[in-house]
């Protein structure tokens, strides 16, 4: 390595005042790029060839990529492969990327090369030109900081892009999605405890069933989220293994021995995440299985959330002709034509979010299954769908909790009326008078539109026996029914 004089690093704010176009070049040739942006030829080519829809590569990917570039620069500098000033300058600009200060310089679309190469080069070009600006050089000259030779030293898009994917996904899940799920779970648990002694009629097959408490019903929602959170947490941990160090096909060509481990160690210091280089780089680069599993866990959580939200909108249906068991906050008018109408909009939004996540999981499955040989070339669609799912789930859980669950109120009068009119309370009599006799009483009550007690007395059940056995609160726990001992 030739010795280079250390230039003065200028204290310049982010931004370019130039107007018009600037000439940049890559291995194919020269390209005109907007003079007021830092990106170079390969970014501009991608903008021309992949101007598809409105789906941009998520900024979270670039922020995570900033960590990758910074960590690689640290390792390359320590080993003497990069002059200290170059390594320090790349790290300085990488920090600007991580902080989001350069977000306007990452304009590429999700629909691009499946390896993520164009996004990697977008980042390399931006870091290179920003570094060149800070030493008073000529943008587009690719010196003294070259996008490939220096910013991308020891790296390939094939190992760095999935590494950035994992970091971005792990960060989103652990900082937003899992905490939001936990907050919703805790809010449901507060209500479950609060309503532990309020009895209601259960429903199976959408038909009347035996009683339980509202707290017991809501504890089912709590348990479902406990399981979902555990699954999401476990699957997310798998993202801590990254492809870094595999370079092009997993062999590590053009990277020093131990490079992946050293970069992973630096990433751990920078992020606080326990990042490790994958034990098998061919798996890490040829598949996206860990991303598929991580999104599958989100999909499963969405299934649980869908059930909970769907129950809520039914329980609160009314206000006069629905189930009317719950009253939820009136957040906004519900109709442009029907005055006074209020709808369960938070539940509806949750259902739509869950549908979107379930649909996204199909795209993730397909993308994960389509990798060929040493490279999965469907990475952008996976990380775009994962981050979208994780973000909307986090936001929706917080909105659902704040604007629906925390303000929920039980309609105790309606619950008591349901109990008084219920026929399935006859189940408690079954061990005492037999299933067939109990069934006869139930049908009599329904056919003659009487209360269960009236039907039981009409069929010869002693009133004292009925009053002792058919006690709603006692029917909500095992061992409370009048069950005779088994015959020898």
- Hey, is 202 helix, strand or coil? strand
Q: Return the active site residues.
A: 205, 335
Reported as a single tens digit per residue, the pLDDT across 336-388 is 999 999 999 999 999 999 999 999 999 999 999 998 999 999 999 999 999 99
> In sequence order, what DSSP letters do the residues of 345-411 get, joined into one string?
HHHHHHHHHHHHHHHHHHHHHHHHHT-BTTB---HHHHHHHHHHHHHHHHHHHHHHIIIIITT-EE-
The pTM for the full model equals 0.96
Reported confidence tier of residue 479, pLDDT bands at 50, 70, 90:
confident
pLDDT per residue as tens digits for the range 67-87: 999 999 999 999 999 999 999
Rounded Cα–Cα distance for residues 346 and 331 (Å): 9
β-strand partners of 23: 32
- C-alpha angle 329-335-341 in degrees, rounded to nearest 5: 45
pLDDT average, residue stretch 450-466 = 96
Cα–Cα separations (whole angstroms), residue 453 to 384, 426, 439, 449: 60, 9, 13, 12
- How far apart, in whole angstroms, are the C-alpha atoms of residue 59 and residue 168? 9
What percent of the chain is helix, strand and coil (3-state, nearest 5)? 60, 5, 35
At 482 the pLDDT is 56
Q: Which of 409, 418, 405 is nearest to 322 (CA)?
A: 418
pLDDT of residue 483: 55
pLDDT > 70 in the chain, percent? 98
Q: What is the domain class of 21-153 according to CATH?
A: mainly alpha
Hey, how many other C-beta atoms are within 10 angstroms of the C-beta on 172?
23
Q: What is the mean pLDDT of residues 53-75?
A: 98
Q: How confident is the model at residue 4 (pLDDT cuts 50, 70, 90)?
A: confident
> Rounded to whole angstroms, how far apart are CA atoms 187 and 399?
12
E strand or H helix at 204: strand 199-204
Phi, psi of 208, rounded to the nearest 5 degrees: -55, 140
Cα–Cα separations (whole angstroms), residue 131 to 42, 226, 325: 18, 48, 63
Confidence of residue 50 (pLDDT cuts 50, 70, 90): very high
Is the bond preceding 319 in cis, omega lying within 30 degrees of 0?
yes
Q: What is the pLDDT of residue 240?
A: 98
For 300, half-sphere exposure in the C-beta direction (CA atoms, 13 angstrom radius) is 18
Give the pLDDT band of residue 255 (cuts 50, 70, 90): very high
Kindly tell me if the per-residue pLDDT of 127 is higher than 60. Answer: yes
Helix axes 117-134, 157-172, angle to 10 degrees: 90
Q: pLDDT band at 488, cuts 50/70/90?
A: very low
15 dihedral zone (left: phi>0; alpha: psi -120 to 50; beta) = left
Query: For residue range 177-221, what is the model confidence (pLDDT) as tens digits?
Result: 999 999 999 999 999 999 999 999 999 999 999 999 999 999 999
pLDDT value at position 399? 98
pLDDT at residue 481 above 90?
no
CA quadruple 230, 232, 233, 238: dihedral positive or negative?
A: positive
The second-level CATH assignment, the architecture, of 160-411 is: Up-down Bundle (1.20)
What the block records as the tokens of 416 is 């008591």
Residue range 299-349, pLDDT digits in tens: 999 999 999 999 999 999 999 999 999 999 999 999 999 999 999 999 999
Q: Compute the distance between CA of residue 414 and CA of residue 321 in angstroms, rounded to an integer.
A: 12
- For residue 226, with 0-12 CB atoms within 10 Å meaning exposed, 13-18 middle and 19 or more buried, which class applies? middle
Give yes or no for residue 107 having a pLDDT over 70: yes
| CATH number corresponding to 423-476 | 1.10.40.30
What whole-number percentage of the chain has pLDDT above 90? 97
The mean pLDDT value of the chain amounts to 96
Residue of 45, 94, 96 lying closest to 71 (CA atoms): 94
The whole-angstrom separation of Cα 482 and Cα 218 is 27
CA 380 – CA 467 distance, rounded (Å): 66
- Per-residue confidence band for 3, with pLDDT thresholds at 50, 70 and 90: low
Region 412-437: what's the mean pLDDT? Answer: 96
**Distance in angstroms (rounded) separating the CA atoms of residues 384 and 388:** 6
486 vs 321, more confident? 321
Element (H, E) at 72: helix 59-78
Cα dihedral 133, 146, 155, 158, rounded to 10, equals 90
475: which 2 tokens? 């029917």
Q: Which two tokens stand for residue 290?
A: 């860990």
Helix (H, G, I), strand (E, B) or coil at 262: helix
- For 146, residues 6+ apart whose C-beta sits below 8 A from its C-beta are 128
Is the pLDDT at 484 greater than 60? The verdict is: no
In angstroms, what is the C-alpha Rg of the chain?
31
Where in the chain are the domains?
21-153, 160-411, 423-476
Cα(215)–Cα(200) distance, rounded to whole angstroms? 10
The pLDDT of residue 110 is above 90: yes
- List alpha helices for 213-258, DSSP H: 214-237
Pairing of strands 326-327, 207-213: unpaired
Q: Determine the pLDDT at residue 487.
A: 46
């Amino acid at each position: 390595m030739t010795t280079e004089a250390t230039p003065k690093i200028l204290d310049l704010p982010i931004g370019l005042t130039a107007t018009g176009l600037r000439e940049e070049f890559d291995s194919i040739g020269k390209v005109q790029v907007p003079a007021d942006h830092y990106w170079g030829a390969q970014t501009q080519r991608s903008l021309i060839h992949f101007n598809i829809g409105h789906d941009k590569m998520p900024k979270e990917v670039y922020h995570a990529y900033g960590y990758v570039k910074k960590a690689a620069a640290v390792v390359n500098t320590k080993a003497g492969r990069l002059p200290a000033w170059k390594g320090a300058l790349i790290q300085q600009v990488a920090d600007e990327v991580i902080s989001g200060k350069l977000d306007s310089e990452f304009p590429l679309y999700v629909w691009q090369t499946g390896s993520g190469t164009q996004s990697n080069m977008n980042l390399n070009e931006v870091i290179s030109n920003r570094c060149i600006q800070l030493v008073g050089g000529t943008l587009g000259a690719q010196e003294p900081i070259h996008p490939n030779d220096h910013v991308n030293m020891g790296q390939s898009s094939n190992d760095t892009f999935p590494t950035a994917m994992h970091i971005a996904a792990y960060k989103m899940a652990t900082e937003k999605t899992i905490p939001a799920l936990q907050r919703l779970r805790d809010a449901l648990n507060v209500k479950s405890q609060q309503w532990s002694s309020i009895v209601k009629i259960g429903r199976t097959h959408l038909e009347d069933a035996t009683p339980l408490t509202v707290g017991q019903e809501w504890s089912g929602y709590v348990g479902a989220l406990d399981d979902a959170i555990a699954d999401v947490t476990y699957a997310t941990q798998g993202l801590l293994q990254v492809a870094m160090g595999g370079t092009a096909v997993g062999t590590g060509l053009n990277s020093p021995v131990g490079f992946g481990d050293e970069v992973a160690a630096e990433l751990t210091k920078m992020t606080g995440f326990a990042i490790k280089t994958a034990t098998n780089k061919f798996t890490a680069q040829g598949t996206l299985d860990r991303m598929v599993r991580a999104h599958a866990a989100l999909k499963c959580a969405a299934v649980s959330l869908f059930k909970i939200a769907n129950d809520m909108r039914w329980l609160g249906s009314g206000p006069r002709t629905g189930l009317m068991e719950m009253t939820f906050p009136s957040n906004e008018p519900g109709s442009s034509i029907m005055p006074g109408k209020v709808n369960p909009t938070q539940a509806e939004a949750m259902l739509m979010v869950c549908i979107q996540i379930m649909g996204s999981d199909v795209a993730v499955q397909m993308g994960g299954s389509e990798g060929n040989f040493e490279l999965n070339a469907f990475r952008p669609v996976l990380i775009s769908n994962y981050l979208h799912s994780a973000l909307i789930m986090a936001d929706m859980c917080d909105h659902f909790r704040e604007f629906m669950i925390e303000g929920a109120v039980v309609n105790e009068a309606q619950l008591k009326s349901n109990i008084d009119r219920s026929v399935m309370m006859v189940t408690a009599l079954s061990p005492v008078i037999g299933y067939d006799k109990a069934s006869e009483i139930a049908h009599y009550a329904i056919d003659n539109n009487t209360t269960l007690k009236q039907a039981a007395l009409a069929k010869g059940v002693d009133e004292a026996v009925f009053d002792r056995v058919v006690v709603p609160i006692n029917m909500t726990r095992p061992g409370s029914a009048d069950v005779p001992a088994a015959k020898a």
